[in-house]
């Protein structure tokens, strides 16, 4: 099965990115054919500063490689290095109904967050469809909030195939029900746009400061607490082993445990969880030419696959 996913370089990657997507990407590469890319064209929809965009692209690449992405098993590239996908996006745009895009909730959500209502943001699902269809992807790992975009991709692919012949593989979304939304320190979904994140490779001292700021209710120390409604416990689930988590749950329910105590342990566990990857990340920071070479080599492999698909699509519509 060919797995495809992309991640935007719109800021430093955080533990929400890791537990919500990256961990699954790294696990899937062991059993499937992985195609993962840094979605730098998608990042342009929020008008980032050029200097920061360059830094974030490199940082995303280093994070993935440090966390265990194996470029011998997985094709890993920068989206803008395979311009054929943008060519395919135009072909798809010409058969995509406006109503389909107008029904996409993510456009409305991002505009509500203050992002400029530009055409790139509106047409984002078409480029995303091209990203997926260019590589004849079977499965697309996404969070539940991205499910609609995969449905749009399927609609576009089916419409194109019905009109011009069986060109595209119809992809399926791959949503792990066990992966809940990772809360940020303010209780909302962890997101760079909310400025409520804990970065994957953040220094231990900074991690502790942020964890201690996690929003909780005002239940007194001696009172019983509901772990299922606690942001700290939600994060604890991600890093504590089964026995320790069960012990914390008992302590919550019987009372006598303060949130501060749980937060201190959470900070320790988060630091310990990512500590094995720190040294590799430091080494990559010193060898950025290697990182860029990995992306270039990945782009060559990705381009070879995309070219076959785009040539078929162009021929199908009459652009022989």
- Whether residues 263 and 312 fall in one domain: no
Tens-place pLDDT, residues 17-33: 999 889 989 999 989 99
110 is catalytic: yes
- Catalytic residue selected from 192, 208, 225, 263: 192
189 is catalytic: yes
Position 65 in a domain? yes
Q: How many angstroms separate the CA atoms of 275 and 269, rounded? A: 10
Tens-place pLDDT, residues 32-80: 999 999 999 999 988 899 999 999 999 999 999 999 999 999 999 999 9
Confidence of residue 180 (pLDDT cuts 50, 70, 90): low
**Rg of the chain on CA atoms, in Å:** 21
The CATH number given to whatever domain includes residue 10 is: 3.40.50.620
Position 187 in a domain? no
Give the pLDDT confidence score for residue 177 in this predicted structure: 62
- Whether residues 26 and 73 fall in one domain: yes
- Catalytic residue selected from 110, 208, 210, 263: 110
- Look up residue 149 and give its two tokens: 């975009």
- Catalytic residue selected from 189, 264, 280, 314: 189
- Whether residues 96 and 135 fall in one domain: yes
Is residue 13 within 8 A of residue 25, CB to CB? The reply is no
Position 186 in a domain? no
Q: Which domain holds residue 242?
A: 192-282
- Whether residues 62 and 151 fall in one domain: yes
Position 185 in a domain? no
pLDDT tops 70 at residue 299: yes
- Whether residues 125 and 241 fall in one domain: no
Confidence of residue 204 (pLDDT cuts 50, 70, 90): very high
Position 57 in a domain? yes
Out of 140-144, 182-186, 276-280, which region has the weakest mean confidence (pLDDT)?
A: 140-144
Q: How many angstroms separate the CA atoms of 127 and 124, rounded? A: 5
229 is catalytic: no
Question: What average pLDDT does the segment 139-148 reach?
Answer: 81
- Whether residues 120 and 215 fall in one domain: no
Q: Where are the beta strands (DSSP E) in 152-261?
A: 172-174
pLDDT tops 80 at residue 111: no
Give the pLDDT confidence score for residue 114 in this predicted structure: 75
CA-nearest of 138, 143, 128 to 18 is 143
Which backbone phi and psi does 14 adopt, to 5 degrees? -125, 175
The CATH number given to whatever domain includes residue 230 is: 1.10.240.10
- Whether residues 168 and 230 fall in one domain: no
Question: What average pLDDT does the segment 217-227 reach?
Answer: 96
- Whether residues 122 and 108 fall in one domain: yes
HSE on the CB side for 7, CA within 13 Å? Answer: 28
- Whether residues 252 and 298 fall in one domain: no
Give the pLDDT confidence score for residue 115 in this predicted structure: 75
Position 220 in a domain? yes
- Whether residues 155 and 206 fall in one domain: no
Count of structural domains within the chain:
2
Across the chain, mean pLDDT equals 94
Give the pLDDT confidence score for residue 113 in this predicted structure: 75
């Amino acid at each position: 099965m060919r797995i495809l996913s992309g991640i935007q370089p719109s800021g430093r990657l955080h533990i929400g990115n890791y537990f919500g997507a990256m961990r699954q990407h790294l696990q899937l590469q062991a059993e499937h054919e992985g195609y993962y890319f840094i979605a730098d064209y998608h990042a342009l929809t929020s008008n980032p500063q050029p200097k920061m965009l360059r830094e974030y692209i490199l940082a995303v690449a280093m994070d993935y490689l440090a966390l265990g992405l194996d470029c011998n098993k997985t094709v890993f590239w920068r989206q803008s290095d395979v311009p054929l996908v943008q060519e395919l996006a135009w072909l798809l745009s010409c058969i995509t109904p406006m109503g389909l895009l107008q029904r996409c909730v993510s456009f409305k959500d991002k505009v509500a967050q203050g992002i400029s209502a530009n055409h790139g943001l509106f047409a984002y699902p078409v480029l995303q469809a091209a990203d997926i269809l260019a590589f004849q992807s079977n499965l697309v790992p996404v969070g539940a909030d991205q499910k609609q975009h995969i449905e749009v991709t399927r609609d576009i692919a089916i419409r194109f195939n019905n009109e011009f012949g069986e060109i595209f593989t119809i992809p399926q979304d791959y949503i792990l029900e066990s992966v809940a939304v990772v809360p940020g320190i303010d209780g909302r979904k962890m997101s760079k746009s909310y400025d409520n994140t804990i970065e994957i490779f953040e220094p231990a001292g900074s991690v502790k400061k942020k964890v201690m700021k996690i929003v909780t209710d005002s239940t007194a120390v001696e009172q019983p607490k509901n772990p299922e409604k606690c942001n700290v416990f939600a994060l604890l689930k991600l890093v504590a082993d089964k026995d320790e988590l069960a012990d914390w749950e008992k302590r919550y329910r019987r009372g006598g445990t303060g949130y501060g105590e749980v937060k201190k342990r959470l900070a320790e566990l988060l630091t310990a969880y990512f500590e094995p990857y720190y040294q590799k990340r430091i080494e990559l920071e010193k060898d950025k030419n290697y990182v860029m070479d990995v992306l270039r080599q990945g782009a060559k492999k990705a381009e070879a696959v995309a070219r076959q698909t785009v040539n078929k699509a162009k021929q199908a519509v009459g652009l022989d």
